[in-house]
């Protein structure tokens, strides 16, 4: 039995179904516009105008990321102010126990003097459930958006990379118009830029 013999069917071309436009995946720096897919196969660019619109969307996502960073800091400040007004936090505890009489300081010094490991309890003020949910939601949105923008960056498309950076720069310009000079000089300022996590 010869499996190569197709019994006189040679010369017939089977019509192949049209798969439609394909996504071009480049792993090198490129400036391709058409047949570029951004993150999803369904976000397929087939025209220059669609590419320009997509770049504008990416700029908007970069601006949104910077907004979320500022919103997170503002929510944290509001929560801290509310808790402080309720008499919670280090500012409230500082009035009741001097730093020298604190058991935390004594155990720290004992660990330094004896060389033994000192395990500290949790530090910080417990947050109400609503504050934790708000903070976690904002944090999750930031993480999702940062990874999404990283995937856009990983198209290695020069225009999309530029759109990501321009969006972050515009967002930083718009949402961070002030600077806490004392915090910057003391090294306590938030210096985290656009990062995956």
CB of 35 within 8 A of CB of 23?
yes
CB of 66 within 8 A of CB of 176?
yes
Predicted local distance difference test score (pLDDT) of residue 25: 80
CA torsion through residues 172, 175, 177, 182, sign: negative
Instruction: Name residue 37's beta-bridge partners.
Output: 44
Predicted local distance difference test score (pLDDT) of residue 77: 93
CB of 37 within 8 A of CB of 143?
no
Full pLDDT tens readout for the chain, 197 residues = 555 555 555 555 555 555 666 888 888 999 999 899 999 989 999 999 999 999 999 999 999 999 999 999 999 999 999 999 988 876 555 554 444 444 555 555 555 566 666 666 667 889 999 999 999 999 999 999 999 999 999 999 999 999 999 999 999 999 999 988 988 888 776 656 666 54
pTM reported for the whole predicted model: 0.71
E strands present in the chain: 36-37, 44-45
Q: What distance separates the 2 farthest-apart alpha carbons in the chain?
A: 99
SS3 percent helix, strand, coil of the chain, rounded to 5, is 55, 5, 45
The Cα–Cα gap between 52 and 163 comes to: 10
């Amino acid at each position: 039995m010869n499996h190569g013999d197709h019994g006189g069917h040679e010369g017939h071309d089977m019509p192949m179904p049209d798969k439609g436009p394909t996504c071009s995946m480049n792993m090198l720096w490129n400036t391709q516009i058409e047949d570029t897919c951004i993150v999803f196969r369904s976000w397929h660019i087939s025209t220059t105008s669609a590419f320009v619109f997509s770049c504008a969307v990416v700029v908007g996502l970069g601006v949104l990321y910077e907004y979320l960073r500022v919103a997170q800091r503002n929510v944290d400040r509001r929560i801290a102010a509310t808790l402080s007004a309720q008499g919670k936090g280090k500012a409230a505890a500082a009035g009741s126990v001097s730093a020298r009489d604190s058991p935390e300081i004594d155990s720290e010094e004992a660990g330094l003097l004896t060389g033994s490991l000192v395990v500290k309890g949790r530090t910080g003020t417990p947050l109400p459930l609503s504050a934790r949910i708000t903070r976690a939601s904002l944090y999750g949105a930031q993480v999702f958006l940062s990874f999404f923008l990283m995937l856009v960056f990983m198209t290695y498309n020069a225009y999309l990379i530029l759109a990501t950076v321009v969006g972050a720069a515009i967002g930083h310009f718009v949402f961070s118009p002030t600077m806490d000079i004392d915090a910057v000089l003391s090294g306590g300022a938030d210096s985290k830029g656009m990062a995956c996590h």
